[in-house]
């Protein structure tokens, strides 16, 4: 069974969706570790309630981004982690981290990449006036939201939407899509060829 680590900085709603999917048997793996860079992150509390190992690793204890990432990677190795799922983790990963887990780090982004990468993807799409946006699960590479796309789901922008109502619907989509992508990884159904991520029957 694949061992999953979730990295989160905030409320941990995607973490909650992943934990619930594991409990339902919808993910063929287990969440073995949750790490946050924020001591007060609600994600740590969500993990703790379910008896999942939850750690706050303070960036201020390290001399820079790579030193911090080395500490996290050391912890991941110690816990024999197979897949790292970023769930609202508000730090860019160093090349060291990415190379330590090649095509074993996933992220969920609230737009249909490559459109509207980076921060505030929902607001960017809304302000641009698109009629359809959505969310993307992708593997993480050294760029900003540039890794191979695993799954995407479209979310229409409704006439009377606000950024908040659109965000809510995209969140609901994320909570379906991310566990599905993680399960595909755990069942070894994903194959990356260049930029394409194929789902194996």
Per-domain boundaries in the chain: 2-199
Q: What pLDDT is stored for residue 13 in this prediction?
A: 96
Write down the CATH superfamily of domain 2-199. Formyl transferase, N-terminal domain (3.40.50.170)
pLDDT in tens, 152-189: 999 999 999 999 999 999 999 999 999 999 999 999 99
Q: Which string of DSSP letters, residue by residue, matches 165-183?
A: HHHHHHHHHHHHHHHHHHH
pLDDT in tens, 26-69: 999 999 999 999 999 999 999 999 999 999 999 999 999 999 99
Q: Determine the Cα–Cα distance for residues 107 and 163; give it in Å rounded to an integer.
A: 21
23 neighbors 51 (Cβ within 8 angstroms): no
Q: What pLDDT is stored for residue 201 in this prediction?
A: 86
pLDDT in tens, 86-112: 999 999 999 999 999 999 999 999 999
pLDDT in tens, 127-147: 999 999 999 999 999 999 999
Catalytic residue among 109, 160, 167, 175: 109
Q: Determine the Cα–Cα distance for residues 40 and 61; give it in Å rounded to an integer.
A: 16
Q: What pLDDT is stored for residue 137 in this prediction?
A: 98
The predicted model scores a pTM of 0.96
Q: Determine the Cα–Cα distance for residues 36 and 58; give it in Å rounded to an integer.
A: 8
CA dihedral 190, 193, 194, 198 (to 10 degrees): -50
Q: Determine the Cα–Cα distance for residues 40 and 85; give it in Å rounded to an integer.
A: 20
Say whether pLDDT at 76 is over 90: yes
Task: For residue 109, indicate whether it is catalytic.
Answer: yes
Q: 119 is written with which tokens?
A: 């921060």
């Amino acid at each position: 069974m694949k061992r999953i680590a979730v990295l989160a900085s905030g409320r941990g709603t995607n973490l909650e969706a992943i934990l619930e999917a594991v409990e339902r048997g919808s993910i063929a793996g287990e969440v073995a570790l949750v790490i946050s860079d924020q001591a007060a992150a609600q994600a740590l509390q969500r993990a703790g309630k379910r008896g999942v190992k939850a750690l706050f690793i303070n960036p201020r204890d390290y001399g820079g981004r790579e030193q911090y990432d080395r500490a996290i990677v050391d912890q991941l190795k110690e816990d024999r982690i197979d897949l790292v799922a970023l769930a609202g983790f508000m730090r860019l990963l160093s090349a060291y981290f990415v190379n330590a887990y090649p095509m074993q780090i996933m992220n969920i982004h609230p737009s249909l990449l490559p459109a509207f990468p980076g921060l505030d993807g929902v607001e960017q799409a809304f302000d641009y006036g698109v009629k359809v946006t959505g969310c993307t699960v992708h593997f993480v590479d050294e760029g900003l939201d540039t890794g191979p796309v695993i799954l995407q789901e479209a979310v229409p922008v409704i006439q009377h939407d606000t950024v908040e109502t659109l965000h809510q619907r995209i969140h609901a989509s994320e909570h379906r899509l991310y566990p599905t992508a993680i399960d595909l990884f755990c069942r070894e159904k994903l194959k990356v060829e260049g930029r394409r991520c194929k789902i194996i029957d």
